[in-house]
C-alpha cells in the first residue's frame, strides 16, 4: 500500500495489518508513481493494482488471477461495475487511436456515439485495462516498461494498455468476473474546472507520446478548453526540479549526495533518464519521480517532458553532475524581487572558481558566465536554475530544435524579452563538475555550438543586434565553425 501524505490515511482491520507493507510518500505524486513504488518493493509473479474505492475480496482476487492465467493472459482485469451494479463501460474504452480519440472528444461523438459491446466471449480484447483493478505479471511489466510517471493523473492506464498491445502481449477483460468501483472518490472534492484541466492536460501528453504526427489535429481541443502549458500548481510544493540523465553512475552519485540534504516534504524531484540500469533506484528513493525514456532525446526535450509533470511554485532543472548545498531550494527562493522570471545560484567549479553568477550575452553572438554579483544577468545557466511558473506559461519551454546546448540561453532571452528579470542568489553555491555526459563527444558539442548559435541569431529578439554588429556576428560564427573543425581532428 502506497499512501500519499495529502490523502486521508486508510483504516484497516487489525487482522490484515501484519501482511501489509505501508510506504508513505511526501505528497500526492500521482497514481503511476505510487504504483511503481509499490510493485518495485516486492518480488512476485503477478501484481494487482487497485484503487482504494474498488470493492474486492481476497477470494475474488484469487478467482480473477486464476481465470486470467487459465486464458494465458499476461495482463487483465475484471469488468468494473458502478455502485448501482451496472457495467461502467467508461472504464473499458477501446484502445486509443487517432480516430477513436477524435470520435470521443470532437463533434463526431454526436454522429457516432460510442457503442456498448455485446458480450459473447469470456475474454473481451481490444479494450483499455483500468488501473482501478489491473492484474499483470512481473515479467510483462518489466519487459513492457513500468508505469509512465509523466502521467500524474489520468491516462496512465490507457498508456500502459496501448504499450502492451503494441508490443504483442496478451491482454483482455474477463467478462464473467465483476467487481464494484466507486469511481473518482479521491477527487470528488475538487472543482470541475480543475478536473477538466488535469484530464485534458494528460490527454495532450498521451497524444504527444503516441500520436506525435497528429498533434495539430488535436490543437483545437486544447485551445477550446484553455489547457495551459503546465499542470495546476500544488500549494504544498515549493519547487519542482527536473534532473535529465544518460549515465547510471552519474545519477546514482547525484542522488546519494543529494538525498540527505533534500527537503522531500517541500520540493519535488523528477528524474528523466534513458539509462535502463537505473530502475532499481525507484525503491531506494520513493519520494523521487522517475520517467524512463527508450532512447536519449537531447537535453531540451528531456527537461520539457519532466516539466510536464511539475506542480511546484518554482520550476527548474539541475544537472546530474552538480553538487547542491543543504536546503538549496529554500535559500534560492528567499527574498525574491518582484517580476522575477528565473533564479540562479552561484555556480562554481570543483576548484572553487566561479563558473557563473548569471550569464551575459554579447551582441556578436557569444555568452559568458558572470563572475561579479553586480553584473546583471541577460539569460540563464541551466546547470542549476529555477523559473517562475507564470514566466514559463508565457514563454513556453525549451526549444526542442536545439536538442542540447544553448537552449537555456534562448529561453532566458525569451523570458527577458517579455519583461521578466533574472535574479542571482550569490550566497547559494552549487558545484558543477561540468560536461560529464558529453565530454566523450567533443565534435558533437562543437557542432551544436555552431548550429544553435545560428538558431539564436536568426530569432526575432536578435534583430537589434544585427543592426548594431552584423560583422561581429558573422565573425563569431566563423570562430564557432573553426572550433568545430578542430574538434573533428581530435
Burial class of residue 313 in the structure, from the number of CB atoms within 10 Å of its CB (0-12 exposed, 13-18 middle, 19+ buried): middle
Burial class of residue 233 in the structure, from the number of CB atoms within 10 Å of its CB (0-12 exposed, 13-18 middle, 19+ buried): middle
- HSE-up of 180 (CA within 13 Å, CB side)? 9
Tell me the three state secondary structure of residue 351: coil
Q: Which residues contact 147 (CB under 8 A, 6 or more apart)?
A: 31, 32, 33, 35, 36, 156, 160
- Torsion of the alpha carbons at 464, 468, 470 and 473, rounded to the nearest 10: -80
**Cell numbers given for 88:** 461502467
**DSSP assignment of 48-71:** EEE-TTEE--HHHHHHHHHHHHHT
Q: Which of 128, 114, 173, 137 is nearest to 48 (CA)?
A: 137
Query: pTM score, two decimals?
Result: 0.91
**C-alpha to C-alpha distances, 71 to 65, 76, 325, nearest whole angstrom:** 10, 10, 55
Burial class of residue 219 in the structure, from the number of CB atoms within 10 Å of its CB (0-12 exposed, 13-18 middle, 19+ buried): exposed
Distance CA 286, CA 294 (A): 22
CB atoms within 10 A of CB 170: 16
Spell out the per-residue pLDDT of the chain, length 490, in tens. 565 654 444 444 444 445 677 888 888 889 999 999 999 888 889 999 999 899 999 999 999 999 999 999 999 999 999 999 999 999 999 999 998 998 888 776 677 776 777 787 899 999 999 999 999 999 999 999 999 999 999 999 999 999 999 999 999 999 999 999 987 666 666 678 899 999 999 999 999 999 999 999 999 999 888 999 999 999 999 999 999 999 999 999 999 999 999 999 999 999 999 987 777 888 889 999 999 998 999 999 999 999 999 999 999 999 999 999 999 999 999 999 999 999 999 999 999 999 999 999 999 999 999 988 888 999 999 999 999 999 999 999 999 999 999 999 999 999 999 999 999 999 999 999 976 555 556 788 889 999 999 999 999 999 999 999 999 999 999 999 998 888 887 7
Amino acid at each position: 500500500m502506497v499512501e500519499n501524505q495529502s490523502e486521508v490515511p486508510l483504516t484497516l482491520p487489525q487482522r490484515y495489518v501484519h501482511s501489509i507493507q505501508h510506504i508513505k510518500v511526501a505528497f500526492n505524486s500521482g497514481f503511476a508513481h505510487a504504483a511503481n513504488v509499490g510493485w518495485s518493493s516486492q518480488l512476485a509473479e503477478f501484481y494487482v493494482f487497485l484503487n482504494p474505492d474498488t470493492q474486492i475480496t481476497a477470494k475474488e482476487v484469487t478467482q480473477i488471477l486464476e481465470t486470467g492465467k487459465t486464458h494465458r493472459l499476461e495482463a487483465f482485469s475484471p469488468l468494473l461495475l458502478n455502485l448501482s451494479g451496472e457495467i461502467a463501460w467508461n472504464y473499458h474504452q477501446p484502445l486509443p487511436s487517432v480516430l477513436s480519440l477524435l470520435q470521443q472528444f470532437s463533434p463526431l461523438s454526436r454522429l457516432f456515439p460510442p457503442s456498448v459491446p455485446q458480450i459473447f466471449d469470456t475474454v473481451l480484447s481490444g479494450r483499455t485495462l483500468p488501473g482501478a483493478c489491473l492484474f499483470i505479471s512481473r515479467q510483462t511489466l518489466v519487459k513492457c516498461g513500468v508505469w509512465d510517471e509523466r502521467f500524474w493523473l489520468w491516462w496512465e492506464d490507457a498508456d500502459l494498455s496501448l504499450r502492451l498491445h503494441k508490443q504483442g502481449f496478451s491482454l483482455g477483460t474477463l467478462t464473467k468476473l465483476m467487481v464494484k468501483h466507486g469511481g473518482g472518490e479521491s477527487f470528488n472534492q475538487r472543482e470541475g474546472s480543475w478536473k477538466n484541466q488535469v484530464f485534458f492536460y494528460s490527454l495532450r501528453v498521451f497524444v504527444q507520446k503516441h500520436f506525435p504526427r497528429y498533434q495539430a489535429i488535436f490543437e483545437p481541443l486544447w485551445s477550446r478548453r484553455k489547457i495551459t502549458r503546465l499542470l495546476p500548481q500544488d500549494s504544498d510544493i515549493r519547487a519542482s526540479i527536473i534532473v535529465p540523465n544518460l549515465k547510471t553512475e552519474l545519477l546514482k552519485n547525484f542522488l546519494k549526495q543529494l538525498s540527505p540534504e533534500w527537503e522531500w516534504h517541500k520540493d519535488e524531484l523528477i528524474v528523466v533518464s534513458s539509462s535502463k540500469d537505473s530502475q532499481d533506484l525507484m525503491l531506494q528513493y520513493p519520494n523521487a519521480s522517475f520517467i524512463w525514456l527508450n532512447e536519449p532525446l537531447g537535453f531540451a526535450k528531456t527537461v520539457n517532458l519532466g516539466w510536464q509533470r511539475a506542480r511546484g511554485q518554482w520550476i527548474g532543472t539541475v544537472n546530474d553532475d552538480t553538487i547542491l548545498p543543504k536546503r538549496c531550494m529554500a535559500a534560492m527562493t528567499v527574498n525574491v524581487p518582484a517580476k522575477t522570471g528565473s533564479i540562479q545560484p552561484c555556480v562554481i567549479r570543483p576548484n572553487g572558481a566561479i563558473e557563473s553568477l548569471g550569464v551575459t550575452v554579447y551582441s556578436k553572438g557569444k555568452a559568458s558566465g558572470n563572475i561579479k554579483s553586480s553584473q546583471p544577468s541577460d539569460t540563464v545557466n541551466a546547470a542549476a536554475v529555477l523559473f517562475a511558473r507564470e514566466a514559463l506559461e508565457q514563454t513556453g519551454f525549451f526549444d526542442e530544435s536545439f536538442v542540447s546546448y544553448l537552449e537555456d540561453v534562448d529561453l532566458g532571452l525569451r523570458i527577458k524579452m517579455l519583461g521578466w528579470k533574472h535574479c542571482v542568489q550569490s550566497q547559494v553555491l552549487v558545484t558543477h563538475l561540468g560536461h560529464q555526459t558529453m565530454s566523450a563527444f567533443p565534435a558533437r558539442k562543437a557542432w551544436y555550438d555552431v548550429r544553435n548559435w545560428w538558431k539564436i541569431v536568426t530569432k526575432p529578439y536578435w534583430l537589434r543586434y544585427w543592426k548594431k554588429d552584423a560583422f561581429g556576428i558573422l565573425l563569431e560564427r566563423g570562430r564557432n565553425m573553426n572550433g568545430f573543425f578542430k574538434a573533428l581532428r581530435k
